[in-house]
Homo-oligomer: A and B are copies of this chain.
């Protein structure tokens, strides 16, 4: 196989991604297909047994109608259980959690707007709120990244490391810190507080929230009859977790994306020509100009902005 032509790199990378998409799908099909079919078979057996036992006194279709109504209501986040004094899904803490899940693009979906007005409001709110959130995150990043580069600077001086190695070490450290403080620790807390949640399940939930994927299939404490005050506290904790977690994750991603090694990979796939010596010095030159992340050498600490 000859050298990889520059113009071929990006299509190959894209093709590799599509292949990975397909392989992931095949893997999940193998892992999830059987359990899903089993659950479906079990449910159908229960339905059939119910019909067999009590179908005689039920008019045809009455049960199906009731089930359909209950299922449709659940899709909208509405439950038929509980006493009448509940505030429903849209009490202020729950609504706050919903708007936070919109603005962090997590979008759990266990509650969703029913009315046309609510849907329209969500679209407008997100269309205005998402750019504003991005601007806020950019400003926070502008303020916080120099602070985050100080440990790397100190380590670089102590251990006489090259700037590139120091940056890599710092990015790795930040990544581990975010993973520990924003996935592992909350998962441990969740697992400890909630009896029916396994540690892997808690990690799954925290990861799903932090990455803003937000599948919404597991929601801690939801409708489990917790003490109302505890449930509210949990909702507020989740709210803070969504907001702070997004910030922490973006800072980590930004730190990694500004590493010279990562930039080299991106340039490798994104350019049409071979990386020349000029390009490489260009990368380093840009790195020196990215004053935000490189450990300041002679630049005194008084230049680092305080927030």
A residues apposed to B, CB below 8 Å: 7, 10, 13-14, 17, 20-22, 24-29, 31-33, 35-37, 39-40, 42-44, 46-47, 50, 53-54, 56-58, 62, 66-67, 69-71, 73-80, 84, 87-92, 95-96, 98-103, 105-110, 112-123, 125-127, 129-136, 138-143, 198, 200-201, 203-204, 207-208, 211-217, 253, 256-257, 262, 265-273, 286, 289, 305-307
Contact = CB atoms under 8 A, between A and B. Distances in A.
Contact of A289 (B13, B46, B62, B289): B289
A123 B272 contact: no
A74 B77 contact: no
A88 B207 contact: no
Contacts of A266: 135, 138-139, 142
If over half of A's interface residues share one DSSP class (helix, strand or loop), that class is named, otherwise mixed; here it is helix
A302 to B, nearest CB: 11
Contact of A118 (B31, B130, B208): B31
Contacts of A53: 62
A26 B95 contact: yes
Contacts of A204: 119-120, 122-123
